Amino acid sequence: MTVPPSSIDTKPWIAIASASFFLCVALDLFYFPATTTFPVEQRFLASAARLVETGGFWVGGDRAWEMPGTALFYAPFVALAPSPGAAILPIRLAQAALLIVQAILIGVTARRIFRDRRTALIAFAMTAFYPFLLYYQGLLLSETLFNTLLVAGFASLYWWRDRGFRMDAALVLCCACFGAAALTKATLTVVPPILIALLTLPARRASLTIRACAVATLIYAAVLAPWWVRNYLVLDAFVPFTTSAALNLYLGNNPQNPTGGVDWSANVETGVFARLQAMPDEIARQREFTAAALAHIRDDPGGFVQRMGFKFVRFWNIVPNAPQFSGAFYRIISVASFGPVLLLALLTVVLRRNLANELSPILLLIAYFTIVHMVTIASLRYRLPLEPFLILLAAASVRVATGRVISARR
């Protein structure tokens, strides 16, 4: 039974949102340094600063090395600040607000799937205080913005379902959110129209599925089209997403990387990498890195399969892979947060098999991201976009467990 919105008590939602935001502010002010923490953060900040200065999107000397969404999001903060460094704290605070939005949307989506307001509240609270999400909102990376847009896409997707699969504004909003997410991080590639079509399958109307997929593809393409046109104008080539994907494919598949590691200083062929990286034309460079990676895969298919196994473990590891986060403190936090979320999410998938159709887009997203990073490179950072959805699934099992405890006490 669906609970009407008017019956929802908003007080706990406001209290949780406020507490989460103030915790983010405290972390941003007292835990994180006043400067960026990692070199990749400086890259995003520099791209935003150059966008403000020149009106063009650059990553170093490249024009399409990564998607422009993060730089576009950071640019207004950089433009208003006296210096790029002065924009760091305002950006962090904006990302703290995005985390609250993300948590609310996960709660709303959980309610649409499980038809239970307590499950929605649990999912909202778990997302709002999830340690990895709290940590990443303080970093100038693409993850917080991408996660929020991705979650917004799924919230719109299930809203569109509840509206009867009509070709209306809900579908447009869904595609727009997915498109904005893809413009922030290219991992989504062509998946969103497939997710949309997949959710229509239980209706058993082939015409609906075909029409939804076709309309979604057109809208999604329209959102990405400015990026395609811009890339063709500046690079004289069709670049649908980025030119850096080839480097990641090479890093994960070259003779110097039998274990699927992610260390650019140790897991690449020094001479080959230096030669290809020195190529000034990023399109030609992309082709050469792709060719080198595919050649190695063809020459050693057994090693490719073995590396996929190693990367699967890296991707789903319950403790951090990076040496700088290998201490007991980080391991305990990871095991105590991601460990239960993963187990409870798996429990929900097993016990709520009657909702397989409802959950199919989420499960496809999880499978897709896993395969992509098993083929290219894998780390816990790349898993982060899936964790709000794992929390959504885990919340249903938490709801059952807490309901039984409450009933037993009565």
Tell me the pLDDT band of 203, cut-offs 50, 70 and 90: confident
Tell me the pLDDT band of 322, cut-offs 50, 70 and 90: confident
Stated length of the chain: 410
Q: Sort 270 into a burial class: Cβ within 10 Å, 0-12 / 13-18 / 19+.
A: exposed
Contact between 154 and 146 under an 8 Å Cβ cutoff? The reply is no
Report how far apart, in Å, the C-alpha atoms of 329 and of each of 24, 130, 136, 317 are.
19, 16, 17, 16
Tell me the pLDDT band of 406, cut-offs 50, 70 and 90: low
Q: Rounded to the nearest 10 degrees, how much is the dihedral formed by the CA atoms of 287, 292, 293, 295?
A: 120
Among candidate residues 150, 100, 155, the one with its CA nearest the CA of residue 125: 100
Tell me the backbone φ, ψ of residue 62, rounded to 5 degrees.
Answer: -100, 155
> pLDDT digits over 36-66, tens only?
999 999 999 999 999 999 999 999 999 999 9
pLDDT score at 408: 55
> pLDDT digits over 81-114, tens only?
999 999 999 999 999 999 999 999 999 999 999 9
- Helix, strand, coil tally for the chain in percent (to 5): 75, 0, 25
Tell me the pLDDT band of 4, cut-offs 50, 70 and 90: very low
Q: What is the mean pLDDT of the chain?
A: 95
